[in-house]
Structure 1
Amino acid sequence: MATKTQELLTLEGAKIAIAAAEKKAKEMGLGMNIAVVDASTHLLHFSRMEGAKITSISIAIDKAFTAAGHRVGTHMYKDAVWPGGAAYGLGNTNGGRFTTFGGGLPIMNAKGEVLGGIGASTGTPAQDQQVVQAGVDALQEVLKGRVRAKL
């Protein structure tokens, strides 16, 4: 096969994910930095909510980068990156951008292909994880046709 057709995450899709993530953050009483990247790990959309930590901007982007680029949630590395762990030192790769704590999830299509990633930062890793999960869930509802939206 010489070519392959691949679905792309659009700006409209990224906005849907961020809107849902922002809603969840507000419900939790948190201001968050939230980033969505495309399948190539390039920033597609970003939101800095009131009260979000300035130092968390790049962390949110790097969580999305890691989730999309490695096709797994950043929380999956928690136990493997300590000294002696199977992935010890992984956080030093990719120019230090590889993130090994919760708050980043890949955005997948029904075929299991990565469309992008979403990352959030300012809360605890568990709070950040809840926020990005809300973004992924909202976008999945659209992709499954349960919610109408132009993607």
Structure 2
Amino acid sequence: MSLITQSSESLTLEGAKIAIAAAEAKARDMGLGMNIAVVDASTHLLHFSRMPGAKITSISIALDKAFTAAGHGQGTHLYKDVVWPGGAAFGFITFGGGLPIFNAKGALVGGIGASTGTPAEDQQVVQAGVDALNKVFKEGGALKAKL
């Protein structure tokens, strides 16, 4: 590895499509239309879906959840413990429904966010996307791109 550059893994468009397809299927099973966003490890948008019935006002929320999950490497639902008075992120508004995506080696490769339902519903939808990718990673799928 060079002292001025490094190589890191990131999710590909193919991987983002797998995650969104699974998340959409879960949302349909729940009878919901969702906005779903997947970003790469650098927090850049890879793929976005706006399902029929998804609230237009939640488009940016889905994007922000994916960005936050990938940028901080943790689910947005975990911030509830640090946003209360005296917490490290006091004053931030957080909602469940954003999860980081880790490859089989445990490296952060992206994030997924969903919005339109309740935070618990959004969380179920993004978990379906992460679970679909984890299955592919476990089977040795190569959805990563070198940067």
Q: TM-score, normalised by structure 1?
A: 0.87
Query: Deviation at 1:133?
Result: 0.1
Give the distance between the partners of 1:30 and 1:79, measured in 2 at CA.
Answer: 28
Query: Deviation at 1:150?
Result: 6.6
Superposition RMSD in Å:
1.7
Give the distance between the partners of 2:32 and 2:49, measured in 1 at CA.
Answer: 13
Give the distance between the partners of 1:37 and 1:68, measured in 2 at CA.
Answer: 7
Secondary structure of the 1:35 match is strand
Aligned to 2:45: 43
Q: What whole-Å deviation, never above 9, does each CA across 1:1-55 have from its counterpart, x for those lacking one?
A: 4154322211010000000000000000000000000000011000000000000
**Count of residue pairs the alignment pairs up:** 142
- Give the stretch that moved more between structures: 76-85 or 23-32: 76-85
Q: Between Structure 1 and Structure 2, which shows a larger proportion of strand residues?
A: 2
Aligned to 2:7: 5
Aligned to 1:55: 57
Query: Deviation at 1:149?
Result: 7.9
Letter in 2 for 1:35: A
Same amino acid, percent of matched pairs? 79
After TM superposition, the runs of 4+ consecutive aligned structure 1 residues lying more than 3 A away are 148-151
Secondary structure of the 1:87 match is coil
Aligned to 1:84: 86
Give the distance between the partners of 2:53 and 2:139, measured in 1 at CA.
Answer: 34
Aligned to 1:22: 24
Query: Deviation at 1:84?
Result: 2.5
Q: Is 2:129 aligned against 1:135?
A: yes
Letter in 1 for 2:101: I
> Structure 2: 5+ residue runs without aligned partners?
none
| CA pair 71-30 structure 1, distance change in 2 beyond 3 A | same
The partner residue of 2:103 within 102, 109, 117 is 109
The partner residue of 2:34 within 32, 35, 42 is 32
Query: Deviation at 1:144?
Result: 1.1
> Structure 1: 5+ residue runs without aligned partners?
92-98
Secondary structure of the 2:10 match is coil
Aligned to 2:73: 71
Q: Is the 8 A contact 2:34 2:116 kept in 1?
A: yes
